[in-house]
Amino acid sequence: GLVNQVVSQLIQAIRSQEGSFGSIERLGAGSYYEHVKISEPNEFDIMLVMPVSRLQLDECDDTGAYYYLTFKRNPKEKHLFKFLDEDGKLSAFKMLQALRDIIKREVKNIKNAEVTVKRRKAGSPAITLQIKNPPAEISVDIILTLEVQQNWPPSTQDGLKIEQWLGRKVRGQFRNKSLYLVAKQNKREKVLRGNTWRLSFSHIEKDMLNNHGSSKTCCESDGLKCCRKGCLKLLKYLLEQLKMKYTKQLEKFCSYHVKTAFFHSCVMWPNDTDWHLGDLDYCFQKYLGYFLDCLQKSELPHFFIPQYNLLSLEDKASNDFLSRQINYQLNNRFPIFQE
């Protein structure tokens, strides 16, 4: 409730500014809205989505995930021209900066909560708010997102292999949805100019998690229950606990690795009968086995952009470290779950 109040007030303020962000809409993303949050709801991801009619996308590396954006001829969005860099590319950095300035001014006007804007983390696509909510704090990541009504780029062509699991028709429906791009710095760029954008599929991941069964009624009130989400929550929790214990060694990992491995597992075991609620233990070990396999090979393809490997060989040392920690837990009946 508190988060909604704060965010609604901010969105009103952002919309009322002249021009640039007038058309912004909010979309809840991340684990809280996918109903796979495992601890207190103290972290929220909120996408501020801005419709843009048509953009030219140019890949800026070989991942197929990061792009430079330029406007096509005679765009409707003349009000965004002030965010172009000297090469005419839409600068994620400039747009984020402008949005951050509005938010910083507006949080001072929030009466019913103590809200601060955290310092900018280099390369992060988020503007992070801290909301004091005694005895704890709530952190809200606001993510600037462009919504473009056009075909997905070629790098996504062989991704989203859900035909056996959710069906060909559902895949077609997903691929007809808008393209989302978030203001995310590409760390591989030689010169970090802050003008890259990364594809985002949060809206579709949320759909897949909330309608995850091969039968339509899976986990509905009168349908059969499965353990898919239970497995995802367990591995998320395991990673979270290990990260708390070995912060430095595991800083490269995030819940997105676990979620991607989860989607691949749903494709490998597509039937609801593969995920019987009573088989949680067995299913979790199967899914964990796949994740360990990925760590061992340093290979976890992005679910929507198969050429993009989320576990690079450069990080082999940390992949091996995580693999050893998980194996230790597995062979000792997960002492970390008892702690």
pLDDT of residue 78: 84
Residues 85 and 225 in one domain: no
pLDDT at 46 over 70: yes
219 and 175 fall within a common domain: no
Residue 209 counted as domain residue: no
The CATH number of whichever domain residue 277 belongs to comes to: 1.10.1410.40
Give the total number of structural domains in the chain. Answer: 2
Residue 120 confidence (pLDDT): 82
- How many angstroms separate the CA atoms of 39 and 45, rounded? 15
Range 255-275 average pLDDT = 97
CA distance 185 to 204: 22
CA dist., res. 256 & res. 306, Å (int): 15
Is pLDDT of 89 > 70? yes
Q: Assess whether 182 and 218 both reside in one domain.
A: no
- Is residue 207 included in any domain, yes or no? no
Q: Does 243 lie in the same domain as 138?
A: no
Write out pLDDT tens, residues 92-117: 989 999 999 999 999 998 888 888 89
pLDDT at 75 over 90: no
User: What is the rounded average pLDDT of the residues 230-247?
Assistant: 95
The predicted pLDDT at position 186 comes to: 73
Q: Is residue 82 part of a domain?
A: yes
Whether 208 is covered by a domain: the verdict is no
Contacts of 304 (CB under 8 A, 6+ apart): 156, 159, 160, 199, 201, 204
Mean pLDDT in residue range 270-298: 96
Confidence of residue 39 (pLDDT cuts 50, 70, 90): low
DSSP for 9-60 reads HHHHHHHHSSSTTTT-EEEEEHHHHTT---S-S-EEEEEEEEEES-EEEEE-
153 shares a domain with 293 = no
* pLDDT of amino acid 124: 76
Q: Out of 137, 172, 202, pick the residue that ends a domain.
A: 202
66 within domain boundaries: yes
Mean pLDDT within 138-151: 91
277 and 332: one domain?
Answer: yes
Do 160 and 251 lie in one domain? The reply is no
Same domain, yes or no: 198 and 291: no
CATH number, domain of 170, equals 3.30.460.90
> Residue 54 contacts by C-beta under 8 Å, 6 or more apart in sequence?
71, 72, 75, 148, 149, 150
CA distance 308 to 48: 25
pLDDT digit string (tens) for 3-32? 888 888 889 888 887 668 888 988 876 776
Residues 265 and 290 in one domain: yes
Output the CA–CA distances (angstroms, integers) from residue 277 to 269, 282, 308, in the order listed: 14, 10, 33
| Domain span including residue 333 | 214-337
Q: What angle do CA 192, 257, 55 make, to 5 degrees?
A: 45
How far are the Cα atoms of 317, 325, 326 from residue 331, in angstroms, in the given order? 21, 10, 9
> Looking at per-residue confidence, does 69 or 190 come out higher?
69
122 burial type by CB count under 10 A (0-12 exposed, 13-18 middle, 19+ buried): exposed
Both 196 and 235 in a single domain?
A: no
Same domain membership, residue 55 and residue 97: yes
Mean pLDDT over 310-314 rounds to 91
How buried is 139 (Cβ within 10 angstroms: 0-12 exposed, 13-18 middle, 19+ buried)? middle
pLDDT mean over 214-243: 93
DSSP label of 84? B
Per-residue b/e over 152-186, b at no fewer than 16 CB within 10 Å? bbebbeebbebeebbeeebbeebeeeebbbbbbbb
Task: Quote the pLDDT of residue 45.
Answer: 85
Own/partner pairs for 94-98, CB < 8 Å, 24+ apart?
94/194, 95/20, 95/144, 95/183, 96/125, 96/127, 96/144, 96/183, 96/194, 98/20, 98/21
pLDDT band at 54 (very low <50, low <70, confident <90, very high): confident
Q: What pLDDT, on the 0 to 100 scale, is given for residue 76?
A: 79
Mean pLDDT computed over every residue of the chain: 90
> What local confidence, expressed as pLDDT, does residue 189 receive?
59
Residue 99 CA to residue 148 CA, distance in Å, equals 19
Residue 193 confidence (pLDDT): 64
Given a cut of 70, whether residue 40 has pLDDT beyond it is no
> Is residue 259 within 8 Å of 232, Cβ to Cβ?
yes
One domain, residues 282 and 168: no
Look at 45 and 122; give whichever has higher pLDDT. Answer: 45
Q: What is the model's pLDDT at position 4?
A: 87
Residues in the chain: 339
Let me know: does 225 contact 219? Beta carbons within 8 Å. yes
Residue that terminates a domain, selected from 202, 231, 261: 202
Each residue's pLDDT tens digit, 150-192: 999 999 999 999 999 999 999 999 999 999 999 877 776 555 5
Q: What is the pLDDT of residue 312?
A: 87
